[in-house]
Amino acid sequence: MEDVLIRVVEKVELKDPILVEGLPGVGNVGKLAADYLKEKLGAKPLATIFSKFFPPQVYVSEEGLIRLVSNDLAYRKAQRAGERDLLILGGDYQGITPEGQYELTHRVLEFCAGLGVREVFTLAGFAQGHVVEHPRVLGAATSAARVEAMKKFGVVFSRDDPGGGLIGASGLFLGLGRTFEMEGVCLMGETSGYFVDPRSAEAVLKVLTQALGVRVDFTDLESKAREIDRIAQKIHEAEQKPSEMPREQSREDLGYIG
C-alpha cells in the first residue's frame, strides 16, 4: 500500500473551487463544522483518502460491517450567482505523526491543486481552558489583505492568540498551501477544550458561510449546542471551586489549535 492513497469516486470539472478543511481536533470544532456544511449543502463524494499515517484501525457498524478509517473529499458546485464551487475535506483522523501530517497535507493539496484550487479555509477549535458561552472566532491568514477582509465578518486577529502558532492540519494546509500558490484563512472557534463543541462550530460556520456567500440552516446545530449546554453548565459550576492546578498552567496545557 502507498503511504497515501487517494481513491477517486467521481471525476468532476470544477470552476475556481475553494477548499474547506475540517478535520478532528480540539472540541472537534473543525470536523463538526465541515460535516455540517457538507450535509446541509448536499455535497457529493469525490474521493476517499487512505493512509499508513492513520491509526491501524477499522470501524464496525451496528450491522457488523467494517470500514477502514479514512478522510474524504466532497464537492458542491455553485448554485447561484456569487457562489463558487467547493471542496470539503473531512474524515476520521489527522495524521498521527509529524511526518504523516506533512505527507497527507501535501498529497491532498497536490490533488486539489490539480482541480484548480487556489484558496483554502481551514476550520479549527482554539481551547481556552474554561467554558466559553459566547465563542469568538479567531483568525490567521496568509496575507494582510485577507486579514482585513475577514475582519469585516467579525473575525478577531489577536496579538496574543494563538500565541504558540497553528498546530496540525489547520496550520499546515495554509503553510504548505503557499507552496502551491494558494492563499487562505484559518477560522478558530473559541472552546473550552473539554468536550465536543457545536456552539463553537456554529460560530465558525456563520463566519465561513458569509465569506463563501452560501446559505445554511443552523437549526440542527443549534439543537446540538443546547444539548451540550447542560454539560457546560456543570463544568462552569466546577470551575467556581478552587483548582489544584494554577490557572496559568491549565491555560498553557489546553491552549492549542486542532
Question: Is it the case that residue 244 has pLDDT exceeding 60?
Answer: no
Average pLDDT over residues 98-115: 98
Question: Is it the case that residue 257 has pLDDT exceeding 50?
Answer: yes
Confidence bin at 229 (pLDDT 50/70/90): confident
Average pLDDT over residues 93-104: 97
pLDDT (0 to 100) of residue 242: 59
Q: Which of 104, 79, 100, 68 lies closest to 89, judged by CA?
A: 104
pLDDT (0 to 100) of residue 251: 44
pLDDT (0 to 100) of residue 224: 87
Question: Is it the case that residue 88 has pLDDT exceeding 50?
Answer: yes
Confidence bin at 81 (pLDDT 50/70/90): confident
pLDDT (0 to 100) of residue 209: 96
Lowest mean pLDDT among 123-127, 190-194, 206-210, 242-246: 242-246
pLDDT (0 to 100) of residue 236: 67
pLDDT digits (tens, 9 = 90+) for 148-158: 999 999 999 98
pLDDT (0 to 100) of residue 89: 98
Average pLDDT over residues 226-238: 75
Question: Is it the case that residue 231 has pLDDT exceeding 80?
Answer: no
pLDDT digits (tens, 9 = 90+) for 2-51: 999 999 999 999 999 999 999 999 999 999 999 999 999 999 999 999 99
Question: Is it the case that residue 164 has pLDDT exceeding 70?
Answer: no
Percent of the chain surpassing pLDDT 70? 90
Confidence bin at 226 (pLDDT 50/70/90): confident
- What domains are defined for the chain? 4-241 (3.40.50.10900)
Lowest mean pLDDT among 130-144, 180-194, 203-217, 228-242: 228-242
Look over the chain and give the mean of its residue pLDDT values, rounded to a whole number: 90
